[in-house]
Protein backbone atom coordinates (compact mmCIF):
# COMPACT_ATOMS: atom_id res chain seq x y z
CA UNK A 1 0.00 0.00 0.00
CA UNK A 2 1.40 3.43 -0.92
CA UNK A 3 2.34 5.66 1.95
CA UNK A 4 -0.13 8.49 2.51
CA UNK A 5 2.44 10.56 4.41
CA UNK A 6 5.96 10.80 3.06
CA UNK A 7 8.64 12.52 5.09
CA UNK A 8 12.02 13.54 3.80
CA UNK A 9 14.56 13.53 6.62
CA UNK A 10 17.59 15.80 6.66
CA UNK A 11 20.21 13.22 5.52
CA UNK A 12 17.95 12.16 2.63
CA UNK A 13 17.39 15.78 1.64
CA UNK A 14 21.15 16.42 1.66
CA UNK A 15 21.76 13.45 -0.63
CA UNK A 16 18.99 14.43 -3.07
CA UNK A 17 19.80 18.14 -3.08
CA UNK A 18 23.48 17.30 -3.59
CA UNK A 19 22.65 15.11 -6.60
CA UNK A 20 20.44 17.84 -8.03
CA UNK A 21 23.21 20.42 -7.60
CA UNK A 22 25.91 18.21 -9.13
CA UNK A 23 23.87 17.47 -12.24
CA UNK A 24 21.98 20.72 -12.84
CA UNK A 25 23.55 23.50 -10.77
CA UNK A 26 20.20 24.05 -9.04
CA UNK A 27 20.83 24.95 -5.42
CA UNK A 28 18.13 23.84 -2.95
CA UNK A 29 18.48 25.38 0.48
CA UNK A 30 16.95 23.89 3.64
CA UNK A 31 13.78 25.92 3.08
CA UNK A 32 13.06 23.80 -0.03
CA UNK A 33 12.96 20.53 1.93
CA UNK A 34 9.18 20.59 2.44
CA UNK A 35 8.58 21.48 -1.22
CA UNK A 36 10.69 18.55 -2.41
CA UNK A 37 9.02 16.25 0.14
CA UNK A 38 5.57 17.20 -1.17
CA UNK A 39 6.58 16.45 -4.75
CA UNK A 40 8.25 13.19 -3.78
CA UNK A 41 5.07 12.25 -1.93
CA UNK A 42 3.19 12.20 -5.21
CA UNK A 43 5.96 10.13 -6.80
CA UNK A 44 6.01 7.57 -3.97
CA UNK A 45 2.23 7.42 -3.84
CA UNK A 46 2.20 6.39 -7.48
CA UNK A 47 2.80 2.88 -6.16
CA UNK A 48 6.22 2.16 -7.65
CA UNK A 49 8.00 2.83 -4.36
CA UNK A 50 7.03 2.14 -0.76
CA UNK A 51 9.08 4.89 0.83
CA UNK A 52 11.51 7.73 0.22
CA UNK A 53 14.32 5.41 1.28
CA UNK A 54 13.36 2.85 -1.36
CA UNK A 55 13.22 5.59 -4.00
CA UNK A 56 16.60 6.94 -2.90
CA UNK A 57 18.25 3.52 -2.81
CA UNK A 58 17.07 2.72 -6.32
CA UNK A 59 18.05 6.14 -7.66
CA UNK A 60 21.61 5.88 -6.30
CA UNK A 61 22.21 2.21 -7.01
CA UNK A 62 21.23 2.49 -10.67
CA UNK A 63 22.29 5.88 -12.05
CA UNK A 64 19.69 6.42 -14.74
CA UNK A 65 19.83 9.78 -16.58
CA UNK A 66 16.06 9.76 -17.03
CA UNK A 67 15.49 9.13 -13.32
CA UNK A 68 17.87 11.95 -12.40
CA UNK A 69 16.14 14.22 -14.91
CA UNK A 70 12.81 13.34 -13.30
CA UNK A 71 14.22 14.28 -9.89
CA UNK A 72 15.44 17.63 -11.26
CA UNK A 73 12.00 18.17 -12.76
CA UNK A 74 10.43 17.65 -9.34
CA UNK A 75 12.83 20.19 -7.85
CA UNK A 76 11.98 23.00 -10.27
CA UNK A 77 8.95 25.21 -10.73
CA UNK A 78 7.72 25.73 -14.29
CA UNK A 79 6.00 29.06 -13.68
CA UNK A 80 5.70 31.06 -16.86
CA UNK A 81 3.20 33.00 -18.95
CA UNK A 82 2.80 34.60 -22.36
CA UNK A 83 4.67 37.91 -22.64
CA UNK A 84 5.98 37.62 -19.10
CA UNK A 85 8.13 40.66 -18.29
CA UNK A 86 6.74 42.29 -21.40
CA UNK A 87 9.34 45.07 -21.42
CA UNK A 88 11.76 42.62 -23.02
CA UNK A 89 9.45 42.01 -25.96
CA UNK A 90 8.86 45.75 -26.37
CA UNK A 91 12.64 46.27 -26.34
CA UNK A 92 13.02 43.69 -29.10
CA UNK A 93 10.44 45.40 -31.29
CA UNK A 94 11.55 48.96 -30.68
CA UNK A 95 15.33 48.61 -30.34
CA UNK A 96 16.95 45.22 -30.86
CA UNK A 97 15.33 44.02 -34.07
CA UNK A 98 15.82 47.28 -36.00
CA UNK A 99 19.49 47.32 -34.90
CA UNK A 100 20.00 43.69 -35.87
CA UNK A 101 18.44 44.44 -39.25
CA UNK A 102 20.81 47.38 -39.76
CA UNK A 103 23.84 45.35 -38.65
CA UNK A 104 23.08 42.61 -41.15
CA UNK A 105 23.86 45.03 -44.01
CA UNK A 106 21.92 43.07 -46.59
CA UNK A 107 22.97 39.59 -45.47
CA UNK A 108 20.38 36.93 -46.14
CA UNK A 109 20.87 34.79 -43.03
CA UNK A 110 17.94 34.57 -40.61
CA UNK A 111 17.62 36.18 -37.23
CA UNK A 112 18.45 33.47 -34.70
CA UNK A 113 16.98 33.41 -31.21
CA UNK A 114 17.32 30.97 -28.32
CA UNK A 115 14.91 30.56 -25.42
CA UNK A 116 17.22 28.73 -23.01
CA UNK A 117 14.66 27.99 -20.30
CA UNK A 118 11.57 27.45 -22.42
CA UNK A 119 9.43 25.61 -19.86
CA UNK A 120 5.94 24.89 -21.27
CA UNK A 121 6.50 27.09 -24.32
CA UNK A 122 4.91 30.43 -23.51
CA UNK A 123 8.22 32.30 -23.76
CA UNK A 124 9.43 30.97 -27.14
CA UNK A 125 5.96 31.31 -28.65
CA UNK A 126 5.74 34.91 -27.38
CA UNK A 127 9.10 35.52 -29.01
CA UNK A 128 7.84 33.84 -32.19
CA UNK A 129 4.82 36.17 -32.33
CA UNK A 130 7.10 39.20 -31.95
CA UNK A 131 9.37 38.00 -34.75
CA UNK A 132 6.45 37.07 -37.01
CA UNK A 133 4.90 40.50 -36.49
CA UNK A 134 8.25 42.15 -37.19
CA UNK A 135 8.62 40.14 -40.40
CA UNK A 136 5.09 40.92 -41.59
CA UNK A 137 5.70 44.63 -40.98
CA UNK A 138 8.08 44.65 -43.94
CA UNK A 139 11.45 43.51 -42.63
CA UNK A 140 12.92 41.04 -45.06
CA UNK A 141 14.93 38.64 -42.92
CA UNK A 142 13.51 35.28 -41.94
CA UNK A 143 13.95 33.95 -38.41
CA UNK A 144 14.09 30.82 -36.32
CA UNK A 145 13.96 29.98 -32.64
CA UNK A 146 15.60 27.25 -30.60
CA UNK A 147 13.68 26.47 -27.40
CA UNK A 148 15.37 24.33 -24.75
CA UNK A 149 14.75 23.14 -21.23
CA UNK A 150 16.15 20.54 -18.86
CA UNK A 151 12.79 18.80 -18.46
CA UNK A 152 11.70 16.34 -21.14
CA UNK A 153 8.04 16.18 -19.99
CA UNK A 154 7.69 19.97 -20.06
CA UNK A 155 9.29 20.08 -23.53
CA UNK A 156 6.80 17.47 -24.78
CA UNK A 157 4.04 19.74 -23.48
CA UNK A 158 5.58 22.80 -25.12
CA UNK A 159 5.88 21.11 -28.51
CA UNK A 160 2.11 20.57 -28.56
CA UNK A 161 1.52 24.32 -28.22
CA UNK A 162 -1.91 23.79 -26.61
CA UNK A 163 -3.08 26.12 -23.84
CA UNK A 164 -6.17 26.57 -21.70
CA UNK A 165 -8.22 29.76 -21.73
CA UNK A 166 -6.68 30.80 -18.40
CA UNK A 167 -3.17 30.58 -19.88
CA UNK A 168 -4.13 32.93 -22.72
CA UNK A 169 -4.74 36.01 -20.59
CA UNK A 170 -1.39 37.58 -21.51
CA UNK A 171 -1.92 37.30 -25.26
CA UNK A 172 -3.29 40.48 -26.91
CA UNK A 173 -6.58 39.88 -28.72
CA UNK A 174 -5.22 40.57 -32.21
CA UNK A 175 -2.35 38.10 -31.72
CA UNK A 176 -4.70 35.50 -30.27
CA UNK A 177 -6.81 35.64 -33.42
CA UNK A 178 -3.80 35.60 -35.75
CA UNK A 179 -1.56 32.98 -34.15
CA UNK A 180 -3.89 30.55 -32.36
CA UNK A 181 -6.57 28.09 -33.43
CA UNK A 182 -9.52 27.75 -31.09
CA UNK A 183 -10.40 24.19 -30.11
CA UNK A 184 -13.78 22.63 -30.76
CA UNK A 185 -15.53 19.55 -29.42
CA UNK A 186 -13.33 17.82 -26.84
CA UNK A 187 -10.78 20.64 -27.28
CA UNK A 188 -13.27 23.42 -26.52
CA UNK A 189 -11.80 26.05 -24.21
CA UNK A 190 -8.27 25.40 -25.43
CA UNK A 191 -6.08 27.11 -28.01
CA UNK A 192 -3.26 25.81 -30.18
CA UNK A 193 -0.41 27.77 -31.69
CA UNK A 194 -0.76 27.72 -35.47
CA UNK A 195 1.28 25.17 -37.38
CA UNK A 196 3.06 27.94 -39.30
CA UNK A 197 4.31 29.58 -36.11
CA UNK A 198 5.24 26.25 -34.49
CA UNK A 199 7.30 25.33 -37.55
CA UNK A 200 9.79 28.10 -36.74
CA UNK A 201 10.37 26.90 -33.17
CA UNK A 202 12.61 23.88 -32.66
CA UNK A 203 12.56 22.23 -29.23
CA UNK A 204 15.36 20.24 -27.61
CA UNK A 205 16.71 19.29 -24.20
CA UNK A 206 19.66 21.26 -22.84
CA UNK A 207 21.02 21.15 -19.30
CA UNK A 208 22.54 24.59 -18.73
CA UNK A 209 24.98 23.03 -16.27
CA UNK A 210 26.57 20.88 -18.99
CA UNK A 211 30.04 21.94 -20.10
CA UNK A 212 28.92 22.31 -23.73
CA UNK A 213 25.59 23.14 -25.35
CA UNK A 214 24.48 21.55 -28.64
CA UNK A 215 23.70 24.90 -30.25
CA UNK A 216 25.24 24.98 -33.73
CA UNK A 217 24.98 28.65 -34.70
CA UNK A 218 25.65 31.93 -32.98
CA UNK A 219 22.42 33.47 -31.71
CA UNK A 220 21.35 37.09 -32.12
CA UNK A 221 19.01 36.91 -29.13
CA UNK A 222 19.32 34.69 -26.05
CA UNK A 223 16.61 34.66 -23.40
CA UNK A 224 17.71 32.96 -20.18
CA UNK A 225 15.17 34.37 -17.78
CA UNK A 226 14.16 33.41 -14.26
CA UNK A 227 16.29 30.28 -14.15
CA UNK A 228 19.50 31.61 -12.62
CA UNK A 229 17.57 32.38 -9.44
CA UNK A 230 18.03 28.66 -8.73
CA UNK A 231 21.85 28.88 -9.09
CA UNK A 232 24.51 29.98 -6.64
CA UNK A 233 27.15 32.51 -7.74
CA UNK A 234 29.70 29.99 -9.13
CA UNK A 235 26.97 28.24 -11.14
CA UNK A 236 25.62 31.55 -12.50
CA UNK A 237 29.10 32.52 -13.65
CA UNK A 238 29.60 29.19 -15.44
CA UNK A 239 26.22 29.41 -17.17
CA UNK A 240 26.70 33.01 -18.32
CA UNK A 241 30.13 32.26 -19.78
CA UNK A 242 28.74 29.23 -21.64
CA UNK A 243 25.80 31.21 -22.96
CA UNK A 244 28.12 33.90 -24.29
CA UNK A 245 29.94 31.33 -26.43
CA UNK A 246 26.71 31.16 -28.44
CA UNK A 247 25.91 34.89 -28.60
CA UNK A 248 26.68 36.59 -31.90
CA UNK A 249 28.59 39.89 -32.01
CA UNK A 250 26.07 42.66 -31.39
CA UNK A 251 23.62 40.10 -30.01
CA UNK A 252 21.44 40.50 -26.93
CA UNK A 253 21.24 38.50 -23.71
CA UNK A 254 18.09 38.90 -21.63
CA UNK A 255 17.80 37.66 -18.05
CA UNK A 256 14.94 37.88 -15.54
CA UNK A 257 14.04 41.21 -14.00
CA UNK A 258 14.96 39.91 -10.53
CA UNK A 259 18.32 38.54 -11.73
CA UNK A 260 21.64 40.30 -12.24
CA UNK A 261 25.18 39.69 -13.51
CA UNK A 262 26.93 41.26 -10.52
CA UNK A 263 30.30 39.71 -9.80
CA UNK A 264 30.45 38.01 -13.22
CA UNK A 265 33.09 39.07 -15.77
CA UNK A 266 31.01 39.08 -18.95
CA UNK A 267 32.13 42.01 -21.14
CA UNK A 268 28.54 42.88 -22.08
CA UNK A 269 27.05 46.35 -22.22
CA UNK A 270 23.80 46.97 -20.30
CA UNK A 271 21.27 48.46 -22.72
CA UNK A 272 17.94 48.00 -20.94
CA UNK A 273 16.33 46.48 -17.87
CA UNK A 274 18.10 43.11 -17.53
CA UNK A 275 19.16 43.37 -21.21
CA UNK A 276 22.82 43.17 -22.21
CA UNK A 277 24.51 43.50 -25.61
CA UNK A 278 27.71 41.92 -26.88
CA UNK A 279 30.19 44.17 -28.63
CA UNK A 280 29.67 44.43 -32.38
CA UNK A 281 33.44 44.47 -32.93
CA UNK A 282 33.81 40.77 -32.06
CA UNK A 283 32.74 39.82 -35.57
CA UNK A 284 34.04 36.55 -36.98
CA UNK A 285 32.99 36.50 -40.63
CA UNK A 286 32.70 32.71 -40.93
CA UNK A 287 30.21 32.62 -38.04
CA UNK A 288 27.88 35.13 -39.68
CA UNK A 289 27.22 32.95 -42.68
Residues with a known catalytic role? 39, 149
Pairwise CA distance, residues 190 & 197, whole Å:
17
Residue 210 gets which letter from DSSP?
S
The CA-based angle 217-111-265, given to 5 degrees, is 60
List of long-range contacts for 13-17, beta carbons under 8 Å, 24+ apart? 13/37, 15/56, 15/60, 16/56, 16/71, 17/75
DSSP 67-81: HHHHHHHHHS-----
Give just the sign of the alpha carbon dihedral 23, 235, 230, 202. negative
Cβ(251)–Cβ(277) below 8 Å: yes
Amino acid sequence: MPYSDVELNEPEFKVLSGLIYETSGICLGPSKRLMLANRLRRRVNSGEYGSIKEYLDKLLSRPDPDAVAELIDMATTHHTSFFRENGHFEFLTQVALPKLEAMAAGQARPIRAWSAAASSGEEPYSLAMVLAQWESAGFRRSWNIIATDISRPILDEAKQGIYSESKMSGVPAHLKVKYFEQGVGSFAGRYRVTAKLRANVQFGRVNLFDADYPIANLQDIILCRNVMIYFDQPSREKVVKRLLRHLAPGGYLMIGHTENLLGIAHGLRPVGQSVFQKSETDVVVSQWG
